Amino acid sequence: MKTGNLVLIVVLLFVLIFGGCACGRYNSMVQQDENVTEKWNNVQSDYQRRADLIPNLVNTVKGAANFEQETLTRVIEARAKATSVQINSAEELTPEKLQQFQAAQGELNSALSRLLVTVEQYPELKANQNFLDLQAQLEGTENRIKVSRNEFNGAVRQYNTTIRQFPNNIFAGMFGFQKREGFTAEEGAERAPTVEF
């Protein structure tokens, strides 16, 4: 066998092995990127469920009590703001957009907390079955949001770890895979909220 043929065979073997390795790693990164997208869609779905429940909660409260209009107005305005900040796909998940999204959702959380604290002053409302049902649904939705955000952060962590590990980082750079941002705690979240009646 001639040395030229031997060199050609070695080069072809190297290209086949490198190509197979690149395909496998590329497919793994695509799979994890799609997992991040799926988890983000779940987060959005849970936030939308909460946004859909809020008008029912507000209407139930309005119908059952001579209620503080300012509190209801804040909840309605916060809901409108929270639903106006949209991140429609995982590709739009820039740190700035994620921060805007979190800030709007944080305002809504704050308004809902004020609403629920104020409701404590109205015993006839607390006993209303419709209100109790909506409050339970809202509490369940908040738990779903927390779980979805944690799952999203887990998927982002796994994806980021994969694209930063060697030799994946070489392929990630070649194919344009970039680091993703996850949810972070809101500023001041380390302090427990004060509840006053």
103 falls within a domain: yes
149 falls within a domain: yes
124 falls within a domain: yes
Helix, strand or coil, per DSSP, at residue 1? coil
131 touches 60 (CB < 8 A): yes
DSSP summary character for residue 181:
-
Number of domains making up the chain: 1
- pLDDT at residue 47, rounded to an integer: 82
141 touches 46 (CB < 8 A): yes
pLDDT digits 0-9 by tens, 105-156: 888 888 877 777 766 666 665 556 767 777 788 888 888 888 898 999 999 9
42 falls within a domain: no
150 falls within a domain: yes
24 falls within a domain: no
pLDDT digits 0-9 by tens, 41-76: 888 888 888 888 778 777 776 666 555 667 777 777
Could you tell me the residue range of the domain that residue 140 belongs to? Answer: 51-175
- pLDDT at residue 197, rounded to an integer: 35
The whole-angstrom separation of Cα 87 and Cα 95 is: 11
The whole-angstrom separation of Cα 178 and Cα 160 is: 8
What pTM was computed for the model?
0.62
What is the sign of the dihedral through the CA atoms of 8, 10, 12 and 14?
A: negative
42 touches 65 (CB < 8 A): no
171 falls within a domain: yes
60 falls within a domain: yes
